[in-house]
Structure 1
Amino acid sequence: MTYILVIDHIATGGAERILIDYYHYLEAKGCKVCVFVLSGHEGQSQWTNGVNVIYGSRIDEDNIIRKTVQQTALYFKLNRLVKHVKPDVVFSFLEKSNLLTSIVRTKAVKVMTVHNVLSIQYTKVRDGFVRKALYGMIRWMYNRCGNVVAVSKQVKDDLVASFGIKSDNIYVINNYVNRGDIRKKSKDTTDNFVFVDGVRYIMNVGRFSNQKAQWKLLKAFSLYVKGENKDNVHLVLMGHGEYIDRLKQLADSLGISDKVTFLPFNVNPYKYMKHAHLFVLSSIYEGFPIVLAEASSLRIPFVGTRKAVPEEMFDDKEFWETCIFDSTTLNADFSTEIHDDERCLAALLKKGVEDEAFRNKILKHTSQWESCNDKLIQFCMYDELCENREKR
């Protein structure tokens, strides 16, 4: 079979990682595969080494007129690629790519994937007319495709409730990982940070951005360690992004700089993650965060926000409720003011670090999901959709 995989960009996000892994999986099966990236350029990502990539444009325009012209040009470029390649499947990731895939002219099977809770992602759209038009476009494009992959139950529920997408069009397929590869890589030695015996490390890995909301974690951590005078607890934040300097300044303002370490993004975060006593996901929203699947594969207890920690990872909903908190502040706040949701997170940090019974229950109640945490299962489910030629 011949595939075209379509994505907005390739940086360090979860959707990009899934695409790259799926590309190599399909190649290993003997399929012909190419990747169409809406914006980017050769050498921008080390993940694309050895990958057959066609770039539609070099940058993503931000001016609305230039963006409209750019999207029109991208449609024609993708259309020409489809005519040339004659794919059996066009498989897309993220909203811009999904829109182009939904309208491109082809008899190929189309599969579109949704990786976020869109109603929360688009709260930043304030204009009522624009918001209504955006919701209408999302409803139109996903209702005309019979193969929509939602990465979690909450993503599917949001598509149905907020956008009116037909439930029968949506298939929930979680993001899994290669456990064996992660455990193997976790045995490597860290080269820019020394983990000290006897210190309990709380860890977060992700882009330093509004969505990931690490400022909440810093404030909650400051409440925990200063209130309890904890000398043996340390916070490690790994990633990169536009908020790095402001987060460092916040840690300084909170008086916890000596207890917080910022590490740059690393292609092998597992050699760091294995030292974590507790993994925390402070994101305002996620679809199905791959980093939690990775933490699960290393059997690290984790806690986080309601919209970031998927319910289906737990076999007991009531216990899941004890591992999450509701994120009530949605906009970045780098002041030292502590909000109620950050106080709730501080209590979760204390429980997740110190309560061994609670920590063991997290591992127990996620063990059933972990038994299925295999990337091959995810990709085999993708294959079933791609081979279903009745739904296009």
Structure 2
Amino acid sequence: MNKKNNKSILLIMPYGSVGGMERLALNFYEYYKELGYVIKALKFIKLSTDIIHFGEDELFFSERDLYEMTGKERGLFYLNTPFKIRKLIKQYKITHSIAFGDMANFFSSLSFTNEFKIGSIHALKSVELKNTTFFNKITKIGYRSSYKYLDKLVCISKAIKEDLKINCGYKFSNLEIIYNPHNIKDIVSLSKELITDKNEIEIFSKKTILFLGRLSIQKSPWHLIKAFSIVKEKYPDINLVLIGDGDIQVTNFIKELISDLELNNQVFLLGRKSNPYKYIAASNVLALSSNYEGTPNVIVESIAVGTPIVSSYCTKGIIELMSTEDHKETDKNISTESGVVTPNLFKGVLEIPKSKKLIKEERDFADALSLVLMDDSYKNNLKTSRSKLLSKFDLNAVANEYLQPMKN
């Protein structure tokens, strides 16, 4: 290898869906590839429904999802994964590995290899770890043991770093804050692609609110649907579009909720899309009603495209994304340069709700949606503030920072 491309990098992720971590991995892959580095991308699970692909550089361990495996098969999969990672690192003479999320971090930390080992945390873990799943228990153990073998653990916001140290018992001094990078030029270019499907053209011909992400308990889309039911009473000629797939129980619940609220002609589940940016551009508002987040990529993507946002205060990191100023959490809606942040919707339990009764915070969310939908000043303010808001997400700077040793 010459001096310019003396790095060989392994990107490690659980899946190849269209989530934020996977899009981040793809951004890194394309950037490092262009620099001439040897680059490989490992998915633990490769599925036929994958949206994110890495061509000839893609590696995988299984084409069966974990839930399709028996308990014994899943246990063997977990036990063998660190050894398989170790083998790949030696085979491709990897100098740097980057793991995305706790499953990848944990197995990478146990591979006991000598490359510069980077992990990353993309969500507020104290909330996520309230669910006592097997892997969440293992993750908590890792925070006190094997994570010390990571040369650097990237936190994508100040809030996530503080949460790990204060609320999750994280023991080690290898935490560094690096915001997620975004290829703004590519996002804007892709957002200009036209929607060609006749049904979709008709849907987006009306004022449209867009949800983009996994249909999961974390994202709690039921809050958005209930808030939308309030908005449409005042403004009946609007639509709500949900793009993404996910947990079948969550999907079934929100379909039932849509039917109960008589919204079948105004709420549309469009599934996964390989180019979500054109749908952001076609929408009037991007909405995020999550129980918890880190620094959600979709917020930055919406700012890049110029579509204003309504988001719950799902993490302190949301203010880092949506404003250049500091705003304290409050029980009232907060106007920012890119939209409106509403009070936190999380009520302390991560589960599909047992009641469909409206809560105050959903009414606040509905007020924010109505305001941003009907007041053009939010779109104009975003246009004015866009460059300043996006400055910390430069792909060139962030991708290089990942590979550097820890700052003192």
- With the length of structure 1 as denominator, give the TM-score of the two structures: 0.87
Q: Residue 316 of structure 1 is aligned with which of 321, 325, 330?
A: 325
Deviations 1:244-289, CA, capped at 9 Å, x for gaps: 3432331221122222222232111222211222111111112221
Per the alignment, residue 368 of structure 1 pairs with 388
Residue type matched to 2:398 in 1? Q
SS at match of 2:112: coil
CA shift for structure 1 position 201: 1.6
**How far off its partner does 1:316 sit?**
1.7
The amino acid that maps onto 2:218 is Q
Alignment pair present for 1:331 and 2:351: yes
Matches within 5 A, 1:64-79: 65-79=72-86
Per-residue Cα deviation, 1:25-63 (whole angstroms, up to 9, x for no partner): 22211111222322236x553532524222223335456
Code of the residue aligned with 2:42 in structure 1: it is: F
Paired AA for residue 43 in structure 2: V
1:32 corresponding residue in structure 2: 38
2:196 corresponds to: 191
Letter in 1 for 2:26: I
Change (3 A) 1:362 1:165: farther
Equivalent position SS for 1:149: strand
- SS of the residue 1:274 aligns to: helix
| Unpaired stretches in structure 2, ≥5 consecutive residues | 1-6, 335-340
Distance 1:132 1:240 in 2: 26
Q: CA offset at residue 328 of structure 1?
A: 2.9
Name the aligned partner's letter for residue 325 of structure 2.
Answer: D
| Aligned equivalents of 2:106, 2:300: Cα separation in 1 | 28
Q: Is the 8 A contact 1:146 1:170 kept in 2?
A: no
Matches of 1:51 and 1:214 in 2, distance apart? Answer: 36
Q: What is the count of residue pairs matched by the alignment?
A: 383
Name which of 267, 282, 307 aligns with 1:300. Answer: 307
> What SS does structure 1 have at the residue aligned with 2:145?
helix
Structure 2 distance, partners of 1:79, 1:373, is: 32
- Indicate yes or no: 2:265 matched with 1:258: yes
| Aligned match of 2:4 | none
Which whole-Å deviations, capped at 9, do the CAs of 1:152-189 have from their partners, x for residues lacking one? 22211111112233574212122232222222222222
Secondary structure, aligned partner of 1:157: helix
Tell me the amino acid that sits aligned with residue 343 of structure 2. F
User: 1:250, 1:334 within 8 Å by CA — same for their partners in 2?
Assistant: no
Aligned counterpart in structure 2 of residue 111 of structure 1, from 112, 118, 123? 118
The amino acid that maps onto 1:112 is G
Counterparts of 1:164-175 in structure 2 under 5 Å? 164-165=169-170, 168-175=173-180
Q: Whole-Å Cα distance in 2 between the matches of residues 24 and 359 of structure 1?
A: 31
**Bigger CA drift: 179-188 or 370-379?**
370-379
Distance in 2, matches of 1:84 and 1:49, equals 18
- Give the SS at the match of 1:113: strand
Give the counterpart of 1:10 among 12, 16, 22.
Answer: 16
**SS in structure 1 at match of 2:99:** strand
What displacement does 1:98 show?
Answer: 0.9
Residue among 355, 380, 383 paired with 2:403: 383
Q: From 128, 133, 138, give the equivalent of 1:121.
A: 128
Q: Is the 8 A contact 2:148 2:172 kept in 1?
A: no
In the TM superposition, 1:134-173 aligns within 5 A as 134-165=139-170, 168-173=173-178
* Contact 1:311-1:320 within 8 A present in 2 as well: no
Could you tell me which amino acid in structure 1 is paired with residue 346 of structure 2? Answer: T
How many angstroms apart in 1 are the aligned matches of 2:230 and 2:103? 40
* Partner secondary structure for residue 317 of structure 1: coil
1:21–1:351 Cα change, 3 Å: same
**Residue identity in the other structure for 2:363:** R
CA distance in 2, matches of 1:197, 1:238: 13
Letter in 2 for 1:90: S
Which residue of the partner structure matches residue 214 of structure 1? 221
Give me the whole-angstrom Cα distance separating, in 1, the residues matched to 2:137 and 2:104: 20
**CA positional deviation for 1:10:** 1.6
The answer for the alignment partner of 1:19 in structure 2 is 25
**One-letter amino acid matched to 1:382:** Y
Q: Does structure 1 residue 182 correspond to structure 2 residue 187?
A: yes
Give me the CA root mean square deviation: 2.8
**2-side partners of 1:319 and 1:367: how far apart?**
23
Structure 2 counterpart of 1:285, from 292, 295, 301: 292
Aligned pair partner of 1:342 in 362, 368, 375? 362
Aligned to 1:90: 97
Stretch of structure 1 that moved more, 217-226 or 194-203: 194-203
Query: For residues 209 and 320 of structure 2, what CA distance do their matches in structure 1 show?
Result: 23
Write out per-residue CA displacement over residues 320-362 of structure 1, whole angstroms, 9 at most, x where no aligned residue: 8602321134422375421222122112212222344455556
Distance 1:315 1:168, change over 3 A: farther
Q: What is the alpha-carbon distance in structure 2 between the residues aligned to residue 317 and residue 360 of structure 1?
A: 21
Secondary structure of 2:345 counterpart: coil
CA contact (8 A) 2:212 2:244 kept: yes
Cα distance, 1:35–1:196 mapped onto 2, change above 3 Å? closer
Percent identity of equivalent pairs: 24
Alpha-carbon separation, structure 2, partners of 1:207 and 1:334:
21
Alignment check: 8 A CA contact 2:182 2:395 kept: yes
- What is the distance in 2 between the residues matched to 1:280 and 1:371? 22
Relative to 1, partners in 2 of residues 1:210 and 1:131: Cα closer, same or farther, differing over 3 Å?
A: closer
AA of the residue aligned to 1:156: K
Decide whether the 8 Å contact of 2:289 with 2:312 is kept in 1.
yes
Other structure's SS at 1:310 match = helix
Question: 1:239–1:213: structure 2 CA closer, same or farther, 3 Å change rule?
Answer: same
In structure 2, distance between residues paired with 1:90 and 1:27:
14
8 A contact 1:215–1:334 mirrored in 2: no
